[in-house]
Structure 1
Amino acid sequence: MKKIILSIALIPFLFSCDSSSSESDTDDEGILLMEERNAVAVIDAKSGSMTSGTVSFEEKDGEVEIDAEIKGLSPGSHAIHIHENGDCSADDGKSAGGHWNPTNRAHGKWGMPPFHVGDIGNLEVGEDSVGTLSLETDKWCIGCEDANKNILGKAIIIHEGPDDFSSQPSGAAGPRIGCGEIVESSVM
């Protein structure tokens, strides 16, 4: 009877050691490689603005890189945040909910505690009406099982004004002038 119990107890271990996986592979030297994953948010105008653009995400080796290019903005600074709901159906973008803040941190400036994972920062816009932003982080993932890191199903919001990095809970950035749902993308 003990042999049967021991054999049954080993079954989960044997299946967990299966080297075939849709999310990882190994190179010729047996080093574990993570599959690259991509996501995108296509930004649509809100609150009567002319805002448009694309925010792309690429996850590789446990890091997510974000690249944003937003057009139709007035010169100056415009806040960009991740919001909790991937819903841009409201004309004013409020259907996206508040900032994505799964760990209940104070709002702040990215990389300078305290801040939360939805705090991205400001786009700097010149006379050409285009704002860009790039950063890389291990605080996000694309489609992983960690609800504190997974950006899929959230929204990118572009605000009319700058984030002051201190007003709670959202940086006093003004109306939402652009919104795009973050969805997985097969081609970047």
Structure 2
Amino acid sequence: MNKWLKKTSITSALLLLASSFGAASTNAVAWNEPGVIAPIQVEIKNGKGEKIGDASFSQEKDGLHIKVIVSNLTPGEHGIHFHETGKCEGPDFASAGAHFNPLHKHHGLKNPKGPHAGDLPNLVVGEDGKAAMEFVTKMVTLQPNEFNSLMKKDGTSLMIHEKADDMITDPAGNSGARIACGVIH
């Protein structure tokens, strides 16, 4: 495994998911056999419209697998979230709307009143400006027509912020400006 590849399991988020959605709601989500939903690839661009990386999404039995590979970012931790609209118009990406939050929860994987369905652990960028991380989450799905589907009519987006997400503060964990975005459709 590459020294800058970090595999992240969202154990705390999954525990929060169970309490957030409740048993009846989580049973309503159809987790498919691998290969039933085609994986998707998303280009990630900075505010100037330059491609800085890719994200891939694969729906598996244990949740949505997300792999992010980016470069040309400031070293350190960066908030990364799903946003409610499938538009990535730079330079500020305001077109992507707020965090994807179909259950109207508070922000943060550590927030007792959260999390947003779009909340993810921080992306860790190495000193060389590169990051390659994998996440697994059950808070969203690629399954069409589900309340927590990223495959909405108008799409959704994957957003990278300038600073680390503190995992608790509404609305975006004090993670600063939006610096990179990819449209999911």
User: TM tier, shorter chain?
Assistant: 0.7 to 0.9
* Aligned residue number for residue 116 of structure 2: 116
Gap change, CA 1:161 and 1:49, over 3 Å in 2: farther
Q: Is the 8 A contact 2:56 2:68 kept in 1?
A: yes
* Structure 2 CA distance for aligned equivalents of residues 33 and 70 of structure 1: 26
Pick closer, same or farther for the CA change 1:49–1:161 going to 2, 3 Å: farther
Residue 75 of structure 1 pairs with residue 75 of structure 2: yes
Is the 2:118–2:140 contact (alpha carbons within 8 Å) kept by the matching residues of 1?
A: no
Instruction: Name whichever structure is richer in strand by fraction.
Output: 1
What pairs with 1:6-25 in structure 2 (closer than 5 Å)? none
Gaps of 5+ in 1: 1-24, 26-31, 184-188
Distance in 2, Cα, partners of 1:101 & 1:54: 23
Larger Rg: 1
Distance 1:49 1:172 in 2: 24
5+ long unaligned stretches in structure 2? 1-31
Contact 1:56–1:67 under 8 Å retained in 2: yes
Q: Which residue of 1 aligns with 2:104?
A: 104
Q: Which amino acid aligns with 2:40?
A: A
Give the % identical residues.
32
Aligned residues: 152
TM-score, normalized by length of structure 2?
Answer: 0.73
Alignment of 1:34-183 (within 5 A): 35-46=36-47, 52-61=52-61, 63-109=63-109, 114-147=114-147, 149-152=148-151, 153-183=155-185
Q: Distance in 2 between matches of 1:64 and 1:111?
A: 22
CA contact (8 A) 1:34 1:61 kept: no
Q: 1:128 to 1:65 in 2, by over 3 A?
A: same
Cα 1:134–1:117 shift into 2, 3 Å: same
1:115 deviates by 1.1
Question: Contact (CA 8 Å) 1:155, 1:179: kept in 2 or not?
Answer: yes
> TM-score, structure 1 length as denominator?
0.72
Rounded to whole Å, the distance in 1 between the matches of 2:111 and 2:37 is 24
Structure 1 contact 107–165 (Cα < 8 Å) conserved: yes
When the two chains are superposed, the root-mean-square deviation of aligned CA atoms in Å is 2.6
Partners of 2:104 and 2:184 in 1: CA distance: 21
Shift of 1:63: 2.3
Return closer, same or farther for 1:92/1:55 CA change in 2, 3 Å cut-off.
same
Q: Structure 2 CA distance, aligned partners of 1:143 and 1:175?
A: 30
> What CA deviation, in whole Å up to 9, does each residue of 1:68-107 have, x standing for no partner?
1121111111111000000012421110001010001111
Poorly superposed stretches of 4+, deviation over 3 Å:
48-51, 110-113
